[in-house]
A and B are shown apart, each in its own frame.
Chain A
């Protein structure tokens, strides 16, 4: 056996990121799920524009009150958030279900770099893909509703910010998935909690007394996230910046819990 004399191997954070990058792109499911997310965003945006009529109220959660061309373009964002979130869970929990985590931790025994690298790699990929998807949906759909009252152009106030906000929201949903997958170490469990927090809990708050519901609802993950991608905020919703802060807070809590479990327990 030849010793690697010239390039002395050394564990670095850059290396861990490169390793996660290779892991991500070498699975067919990554390509398929990213493609599906992109397709959902673009196709639903165009279909919603094609079928738009002013009488109908549409758009992602938190935008229902004041529909805009941006809201129409982002019709697919709920579906895309599921695809990206599930992929995030799989990126993390898949390590446990396959046993790969043992090889990963043997290579990176400090452990924390693993969750940090997964977050950065998957967050960046999810952001780029979904931001592009959102912009494509808007640009392709805008000509179809150019004669409607809600028509807007890419250069209009808040449009690009909202579309990039959608990419940021979806990337954070993906990272939320990574955190839940690392925390629960189970694909099924991670997906269940993710779907519960994003889709089911918001519906349940309707059961609360109105005064409570008004206090709680805007701070739920999907509602706070929805505020990041709307041009005109609905009454009682958070501002885009506050929405980002609140949703990022949710993700941060999940990440800290996941990091704690990763470092403190046996794998």
Chain B
């Protein structure tokens, strides 16, 4: 369990994280989303104590990270930036981390195999591809058999097979009852595995929700077509309902479900030849939510 409570981080007069508050729970995959520069990496660094919050508190499994007797057993983290000496082999890198906690050499071999690095384990990490480096980072995160796994942009640089591997791995870890948190700036990727979404922009919490709720909140609408569109528009109009028309005989209705639209049409003896709900895509919902907080938007560049 990760509990972030009213956490802020300021560098000089720039506020990178602004009174952020959320919880990542065991048994769930929490997707941590936001545009680039939203403060995701800074928040994750504060969770494992690399950066100190300016105010607020962060706990991992009920305690400040540094207070745990076996930190690597509480949380395993993959950070966005590479955190390994290129002159060392993958095996030596993992072994040096394992030895701090008295973790057995057997476990080092185990995570190397799990990450699919057995063939290159004795090679210098400097020669690794981006994807292999990412796998090594994930192996390091799993080294201490942690109750919480936190990964910053884990699929960066992975090939499709690697992406699938990460997805299955994380779902599996959550199914074992572990807390899984991963950050991404891509909604589509995250929606595939996350049960819970924490969305931030410019350091502020924008949404703490589920994938389904996010789509539902974003609305979407009903598309209806009829030869008697004008009469239908009058029949549908009411408080909280808006109707637009982009083509003759077609209406875009929001504020009513497809079922309600159908019933109103029936009551008014209007025949319909198309009636469908159109869900706003996740990507659209995400963009709508974050578009005010994108640090470098197209508009600004143009202006």
Report A's interface with B, CB cutoff 8 A. 1-4, 7-12, 15-16, 18-23, 26-29, 94-95, 98-110, 266-267
Contact = CB atoms under 8 A, between A and B. Distances in A.
Interface stretch (B69-77, B207-215, B245-253, B286-294): B69-77
Nearest to A24: B96
Nearest to A21: B99
A95 B71 CA distance: 20
A99 B80 CA distance: 11
Nearest to A95: B85
B57 to A, nearest CB: 15
Contact of A98 (B85, B89, B97): B85
Contact of B84 (A19, A22, A98): A98
28 contacts: A1-B110, A1-B114, A1-B173, A1-B176, A4-B103, A4-B104, A7-B103, A7-B104, A8-B70, A9-B72, A9-B73, A9-B144, A11-B68, A12-B101, A18-B99, A18-B100, A19-B99, A23-B92, A26-B88, A26-B89, A27-B85, A99-B84, A102-B79, A103-B93, A106-B48, A106-B83, A266-B45, A267-B50
Contacts of A21: 99
B95 interface: yes
Nearest first, the 10 closest Cβ-Cβ pairs linking A and B are A26-B92, A109-B66, A18-B99, A103-B83, A102-B83, A9-B101, A22-B96, A19-B100, A266-B51, A19-B99
A108 B65 CA distance: 10
A100 to B, nearest CB: 5
Contacts of A10: 69-70, 101-102
B99 A100 contact: no
A9 B70 contact: yes
B96 A19 contact: yes
Contacts of A27: 85, 87-88
A16 B102 CA distance: 9
B50 A100 contact: no
B102 A15 contact: yes
Question: Residue among A21, A22, A27, A267 with the most chain B CB within 10 A?
Answer: A22
Interface of B: 45, 48-52, 65-66, 68-73, 77, 79, 81-89, 92-93, 95-104, 107, 110, 114, 140, 142, 144-145, 173, 176
B71 A106 contact: yes
Contacts of A28: 87
A22 B108 CA distance: 14
B145 A1 contact: yes
A37 to B, nearest CB: 19
A107 B84 contact: no
B48 A109 contact: yes
A22 B100 CA distance: 10
Contact of A107 (B69, B71, B82, B88): B71
B50 A105 contact: yes
A102 B81 contact: yes
B88 A99 contact: no
A19 B65 CA distance: 20
Contacts of B83: 98-103, 106
B42 to A, nearest CB: 9
